[in-house]
Chains A and B, each alone.
Chain A
Amino acid sequence: MDLSLATNVRPKAADANAGVILEATRLRKSYGKLEVIKGVDLSLNAGEVLAIIGPSGSGKSTLIRCLNMMETPTAGVIRYNGRQVESRFASRSGRIGCGELRRHVGMVFQHFNLFPHKTVIQNICEGPLAVLKEPREAVEARAMDLLAKVGLLEKRDVYPNHLSGGQKQRVAIARALAMRPDVLLLDEVTSALDPELVGEVLEVIRALVQDGMTMAIVTHEISFAADIADRVVFIDEGVIAELGSADDVIHKSGSARLRAFLSRFHS
């Protein structure tokens, strides 16, 4: 993988000596006879924001879900910090299990998937308490900081059903951040939102970019992607059709498929 493609990396506080943190090699994924990912090589550098765009059914969601083993690849390898990832939960002899991987690589979903039987703060504390076994006091303090960050302090004891879609997604982001991940995977996190609620979620993501969080983002918000992403990858029919700086891919690419795809967003 040619790392020099990351041309417009803005200076970031953390990870000045950015290396590859998450990497897919010759990745393939099939459902029965249907091959959705057809051999993808992709890497994510520490401190980088990578936007994954493409038409519906192009495989971009499947691709990002392979990166934390939410989907088990049919072939190919995922590496985290150079260590090969296995689909089994536990790590063993040099290889990293999906359990350990997910402690470092968080994910936020299109449909939020908050735990409805837990309050906002319980949702956020669940991972650090149950998985990381951290002391409650520290976890709750951190959860309050995160709630402040996503602007929902006053909702701490509310159940998710009483939140708007935008609020739910902000809680979901806080829940993922509570694990203190090195990487955050965002899978179409604004696609299920009413248009007027998209902005508040994008604001939170923008703040994460400012903090230097490493992220891969599957999104249909093309102008937002162009704005925040260091690199953009255009997935089409299960392969990488274009990969480069946001400017190169979104504004300068001559690919007919990509132009046709992008033209739908300029109405």
Chain B
Amino acid sequence: MYKMDFSVVLQSWDLFLWGLWLTFAYTTASIVIGVVIGFVVCFGRLSSIPFISLLARAYQEVFRCTPLLVQLLWFYYALPLLLGFSLDNTTAALLTLSLYAGSFYAEIFRGGILSIDRGQTEAAKAIAMSDRQTMWRIVMPQALKRMLPAFINQSVIQFKNTSLISVISVGELAYMAAVVNGQTYRPLEAYTVVAVLYFALLFPMTQIADYVERRLRVSD
């Protein structure tokens, strides 16, 4: 019978802590950049200019229909061959995570905006609002509320997806588990600690998402 011993593994607490910090940093940064990309692409898709909406659509489909793992490897190993210079793993990881998040956020934003009844737009126009005022004063506040649950959900997925950047040797939490395992030969303990850390951070997030969703439903 295997005898568990967490003490050996926990001696490397500083590695776990550093991994946790990087996981958190990559998640936050890629969500922030992803939201910006998402908004730009969302309005691109809603554009009445065919070229722009097609371009936005193409970007979205490429990133939604290929695995994030493949994207990471492609940006780190393949793209430099086209560019003629290499990307460090930090840049490649952040770039890929953000583009990946942006493609999904764009769809969430677009769905939220399109879900708002046409009568709202008409009522805004009837009191002489411009298109911009209609969007930002009437449509967007309602759409944001409606897209919030999906947004939180996607962000939880984004948090977990950062574990994939360990394949290009970014020292986030999952990577640190491998490092600690290599030092201690205790995979059960090392990977359990990491799993528990992910769970401890994400479980409250999903609870908050559920709570927000319930609250929003009540006021509808």
Contacts and interface: CB of A to CB of B under 8 A. Distances in A.
A109 B127 contact: no
A140 interface: no
Interface string A99-117: 1101100110101111111
Interface in B115-130: 117, 119-120, 122-130
Contact of B129 (A114, A131, A161, A176): A131
Interface in A71-124: 89, 98-100, 102-103, 106-107, 109, 111-117
A250 interface: no
A169 interface: no
B127 A179 contact: yes
Nearest to A68: B126
B137 A126 contact: yes
Which of B123, B124, B127, B219: most chain A CB closer than 10 A?
B127
B182 interface: no
Contacts of A68: 126
Interface residues of B, number: 21
**Chain B interface helix/strand/loop/mixed:** helix
Task: Pick from A70, A102, A116 the residue with the most CB of B within 10 Å.
Answer: A116
Interface residues of A, number: 27
Contact of B128 (A99, A109, A112, A161): A99
Contacts of A113: 117, 119-120, 122-123
Given A89-B131, A130-B133, A161-B220, A114 B126 contact: no
B142 interface: yes
Contacts of B145: 117
Contacts of A60: none
B124 to A, nearest CB: 8
Contacts of B142: 115-117
B123 to A, nearest CB: 4
B12 to A, nearest CB: 50
A184 B123 CA distance: 13
A89 B130 contact: yes
A170 interface: no
B128 to A, nearest CB: 4
B138 interface: yes
A212 interface: no
Given A109-B119, A131-B133, A161-B220, A115 B126 contact: no
Contact of B141 (A102, A117, A176): A117
Contacts of B138: 115
Nearest to B117: A113
The listed residue with most B CB atoms (<10 A of its CB), out of A99, A111, A130, is A130
A183 to B, nearest CB: 12
A22 B123 CA distance: 20
Contact of B126 (A89, A102, A117, A130): A102
Contacts of A111: 119
Contacts of A114: 123
A175 B124 CA distance: 11
A126 B124 CA distance: 9
Contact of A130 (B119, B131, B137, B220): B137
A12 to B, nearest CB: 25
A103 B128 contact: yes
Given A117-B141, A117-B145, A130-B133, A102 B122 contact: no
Contacts of A102: 125-128
Given A130-B133, A161-B220, A106 B119 contact: no
Given A109-B122, A111-B119, 20 more contacts: A70-B122, A70-B125, A99-B130, A102-B125, A102-B128, A106-B127, A109-B119, A112-B119, A113-B117, A113-B119, A113-B122, A113-B123, A115-B124, A115-B138, A117-B145, A127-B127, A130-B133, A161-B220, A175-B123, A175-B127
11 contacts: A70-B122, A70-B125, A70-B126, A100-B128, A109-B119, A130-B133, A130-B137, A131-B127, A161-B219, A172-B123, A179-B127
